[in-house]
């Protein structure tokens, strides 16, 4: 890995300088923090870290998407979360000895990597950075609680609709036809994320397409988010 690698940040990327972890820091503090990071490119399907790794680094995503994956006893993979540009992940480096999950690049991803020692020093020397970190963790906790509430619903279809809205929020790009999910997401992946069978997910997706709430653009989905929210409202979820 090479320090200060130049990264081409496109429309879907968020440069390291704009990461919320560094919000409000002086230019000098921000420059020192960024200089301590190592930037690395990950190809689609490549692991950023693996289950059992020691949590020695914090990761700041600049370009692309990374999914957090848990391996079940059956050998199946369950996708827990999808990170987008600007997200910070791997934060459990402060609380566990081994990582319990895998982090896998969904598409080509550029990640800035900060060592545990450097991060702890940054928290010590910059209280504002510590406050930003708490805010980021609080946002993650809120999202996790919201997702847990959605998964607690008995019926598969509301869980699927909530997942589609989450994908639109995390991976979506507005278009005249609706919100384009910019990364291909298979029916099997969606089934894993909501704890349902692939057959049932496929059946409900077909119903949503029939109702005009979802369409396909090649391998990508286009979501009518307002229509899906309205459907949830009518169902009382």
The CATH number linked to 172 is 1.10.10.10
Tell me if the pTM is above 0.75.
no
Is the per-residue pLDDT at 15 higher than 70?
Answer: yes
Percent of the chain's residues with pLDDT above 70: 89
Is the per-residue pLDDT at 201 higher than 70?
Answer: yes
The CATH number linked to 40 is 2.60.120.10
Angstrom distance (rounded) from CA 94 to CA 116: 8
Same domain, residue pair 22 and 99: yes
Same domain, residue pair 60 and 140: yes
Angstrom distance (rounded) from CA 94 to CA 2: 25
Who has greater pLDDT, 215 or 145?
215
Same domain, residue pair 157 and 143: no
pLDDT value of residue 6: 47
> Domain end: 147, 165, 197, which one?
147
> Domain end: 114, 147, 180, which one?
147
The model's confidence at residue 4, banded by pLDDT at 50, 70 and 90, is very low
Q: What is the pLDDT of residues 60-92, one digit of tens each?
A: 999 999 999 988 766 677 888 889 999 999 987
Mean of pLDDT values over 27-31:
91
pLDDT value of residue 81: 86
Same domain, residue pair 28 and 137: yes
Tokens (6 digits) for 71: 């391996």
User: 172 with 12: CB under 8 angstroms?
Assistant: no
Same domain, residue pair 126 and 27: yes
Angstrom distance (rounded) from CA 182 to CA 126: 36
pLDDT value of residue 154: 57
Range of the domain at 204: 153-235
Pick the range with the lowest mean pLDDT from 43-57, 75-89, 135-149.
Answer: 135-149
Q: How many domains does the chain have?
A: 2
Is the per-residue pLDDT at 9 higher than 50?
Answer: no
């Amino acid at each position: 890995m090479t320090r200060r690698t130049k990264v081409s940040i496109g429309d879907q990327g968020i440069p390291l300088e704009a990461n919320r972890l560094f919000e409000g820091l002086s230019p000098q503090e921000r420059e020192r923090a960024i200089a301590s990071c190592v930037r690395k490119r990950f190809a689609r399907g490549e692991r950023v870290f693996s289950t059992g790794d020691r949590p020695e680094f914090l990761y700041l995503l600049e370009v692309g998407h990374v999914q957090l994956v848990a391996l079940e006893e059956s050998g199946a993979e369950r996708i827990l979360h999808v990170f987008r540009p600007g997200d910070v992940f791997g934060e459990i480096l402060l609380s566990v000895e081994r990582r319990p999950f895998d982090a896998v690049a969904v598409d080509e991803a550029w990640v800035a990597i900060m060592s545990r020692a450097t991060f702890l020093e940054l928290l010590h020397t910059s209280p504002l950075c510590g406050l930003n970190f708490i805010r980021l963790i609080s946002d993650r906790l809120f999202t996790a609680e919201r997702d847990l509430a959605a998964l607690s619903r008995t019926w598969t279809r509301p869980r699927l609709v909530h997942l589609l809205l989450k994908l639109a929020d995390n991976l979506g790009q507005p278009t005249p036809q609706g919100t384009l999910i910019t990364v291909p997401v298979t029916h099997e992946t969606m089934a894993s994320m909501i704890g349902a069978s692939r057959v049932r997910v496929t059946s409900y997706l077909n119903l949503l397409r029939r109702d005009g709430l979802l369409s396909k653009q090649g391998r990508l989905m286009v979501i009518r988010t307002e229509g899906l929210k309205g459907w949830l409202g009518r169902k009382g979820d």
